[in-house]
């Protein structure tokens, strides 16, 4: 087997292993997000994190506008 063929075979093996591992988690990424949606509803800590994140984004917008 030449180098290209051996590389392709190795990549195929690795992708198959990743697909099996992903399948073992029991669902799609969408289902994963749905299962945690609202998990932190009412959390003061999460509200603080969201406020701080918003302040950072606003500061970045102001900074980008000054360039």
pLDDT recorded at residue 33: 75
pLDDT of res. 64: 85
Note the pLDDT of residue 30: 66
- Concatenate the DSSP letters of all residues of 11-24 into one string: HHHHHHHHHHHHHT
User: Residue 27 in 3-state DSSP?
Assistant: coil
Given a contact cutoff of 8 angstroms between Cβ atoms, the answer to whether 1 and 9 are in contact is yes
CA 10, CA 4: separation in Å to the nearest integer? 10
Cα separation of 7 and 1, whole Å?
10
pLDDT digits (tens, 9 = 90+) for 15-47: 999 888 877 655 566 677 777 888 899 999 999
């Amino acid at each position: 087997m030449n180098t290209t063929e051996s590389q392709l075979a190795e990549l195929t093996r690795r992708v198959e292993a990743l697909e099996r591992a992903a399948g073992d988690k029991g669902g799609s990424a969408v289902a994963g997000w749905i299962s945690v949606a609202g998990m932190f509803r009412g959390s003061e800590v999460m509200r603080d994190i969201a406020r701080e994140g918003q302040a950072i984004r606003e500061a970045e917008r102001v900074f980008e506008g000054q360039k």
